[in-house]
Amino acid sequence: MQTGNDRTVVVTGGAGFIGSHIVAMLVREGWRVTVVDDLSGGDRANLPTGVPLIIRDIADPALLPVFGEGAFDAVIHCAAQTSVPHSVADPAYDRQVNLGGTENIVHCAKETGVGRFVFFSSGGAVYGDTTARADEMTLPAPLSPYGVHKLAAEGYVALSGLSYAILRPANVYGPRQRAGTDGGVIATFVDRLARGESLHINGDGEQVRDFVYVADVAAAVRAALSWNHSGLWNVASGAETTVNDLARQVGEALGVVPTVAYGPARAGDVRISRLSNERITRQGRWRPEYTLAQGLAAMVAARAAADVKVAD
């Protein structure tokens, strides 16, 4: 079983929203962490003091000697092009990052004897629209180049010969998520309502999502590092929320009543995303701890604390 105790791990995309929470968790658990991030979507300030940062594209062949020097026990591959609309507008770039970049990281891991490979895929984008809760046996039906390339990248990981865990997270939210980013609907809603602005919803707001708190996702990574077998797992809250209901709940967390304007649905967006978390919870080492209301409260509190720090 992999635990901390001075083991070494590289986290790609570790300066980003999800990656930085994973890095902080690993540091607390005693891992020696190295981060690879080109800072296109991440921020050095997200990293704990003393964590080495290698600023490099994940598709860069020059990463191989970096892996060789680090002699890493594990890889957590979070780095990605995450925008569905961007993948529709520029599928070649999405393929270069999400497929080519993953192929390169897998190659580096194989060549340097990495013991465990954890890959972040996408639950919503890979499954597409789901009338029932999608489990790991549900036939994938991606609706965007992003989903297609994430699914293909899973294949590279599964065929690598490495000990691996493929995680398909639902819609992740939490502190440090940037407003205005694709997938960052909660951060955007919190930011706009906190500034007294109205909300804009693409489509009719009856899109269904599973929102999972980022601390729960980091805990799933901890669990995936500890398993001694390879496989695929959804990482989801198991709850279903419409975007309209989300707007109401964010308003409640901030003590305001939202004003909402509606616009056209976006190309490539999934309308109904329902994920089953039964397989991962049956492992007995992970289950979501945060309800949406609890996660929103934690996110609002973190924002308030950050505002106080800036004011000081």
Instruction: Answer whether residue 159 is part of any domain.
Output: yes
Give yes or no for a contact between 87 and 99, defined as CB atoms under 8 angstroms apart. Answer: no
Residue 127 catalytic? no
Q: Is the pLDDT of residue 275 over 60?
A: yes
pLDDT confidence band for 132 (50 / 70 / 90): confident
Q: Give the span between the Cα atoms of 48 and 15, in whole angstroms.
A: 10
Percent of the chain residues topping a pLDDT of 70: 96
Q: Give the span between the Cα atoms of 163 and 282, in whole angstroms.
A: 20
Return the pLDDT at 311: 53
Return the pLDDT at 28: 94
Percent of the chain residues topping a pLDDT of 90: 82
**Three-class SS state of 258:** coil
**What's the structural domain count of the chain?**
1
Helix H or strand E segment including 201: strand 199-202
Instruction: Answer whether residue 2 is part of any domain.
Output: no
Q: Is the pLDDT of residue 310 over 60?
A: no
pLDDT digits (tens, 9 = 90+) for 278-307: 999 998 889 999 999 999 999 999 888 776
Give ∠ CA 38-43-45 in degrees, rounded to 5.
135
Question: How many alpha carbons fall within 13 Å on the CB side of residue 175?
Answer: 19
Return the pLDDT at 303: 84
Q: Give the span between the Cα atoms of 37 and 43, in whole angstroms.
A: 9
Contacts of 112 (CB under 8 A, 6+ apart): 64, 67, 68, 70, 71, 72
Mean of the pLDDT values across residues 71-83? 94
Return the pLDDT at 283: 83
Instruction: Answer whether residue 305 is part of any domain.
Output: yes
Mean of the pLDDT values across residues 45-58? 94
Instruction: Answer whether residue 229 is part of any domain.
Output: yes
pLDDT confidence band for 312 (50 / 70 / 90): low
Please give the residue that has the higher pLDDT: either 210 or 267.
Answer: 210
pLDDT digits (tens, 9 = 90+) for 169-214: 999 999 999 887 777 899 999 999 999 999 999 999 999 999 999 9
Q: Is the pLDDT of residue 1 over 50?
A: no
Length of the chain measured in residues:
312
Contacts of 155 (CB under 8 A, 6+ apart): none
The token pair at 274 is 């329902």
List the CATH number of the domain containing 185: 3.40.50.720
Of 225, 227, 195, 189, nearest to 209 (Cα)?
Answer: 189
Annotated active-site residue in 127, 146, 164, 213: 146
Residue 32 forms beta bridges with which residues? 8
Of 40, 45, 70, 76, nearest to 55 (Cα)?
Answer: 40
Residues 300-306: contacts with CB under 8 Å, at least 24 apart: 300/190, 300/194, 300/253, 300/254, 302/174, 302/175, 303/175, 303/190, 303/194
Instruction: Answer whether residue 1 is part of any domain.
Output: no
Q: Give the span between the Cα atoms of 189 and 206, in whole angstroms.
A: 16
Residue 149 lies in domain: 8-311
Q: Is the pTM of this model over 0.85?
A: yes
Mean of the pLDDT values across residues 77-84? 93
- CA dist 193 → 186, 187, 247, 251 (Å): 11, 10, 9, 7
Return the pLDDT at 142: 94
**Three-class SS state of 290:** coil
Instruction: Answer whether residue 73 is part of any domain.
Output: yes
Instruction: Answer whether residue 80 is part of any domain.
Output: yes
Choose the weakest-confidence range: 80-94, 124-138, 179-193: 179-193
Mean of the pLDDT values across residues 110-121? 96
Return the pLDDT at 104: 97
Mean of the pLDDT values across residues 160-173? 96
Instruction: Answer whether residue 275 is part of any domain.
Output: yes
Angle of helix 145-158 versus helix 101-111 axis, rounded to 10: 10
Name the E strands within 95-147: 116-120
Rounded to the nearest integer, the mean pLDDT of the chain is 92
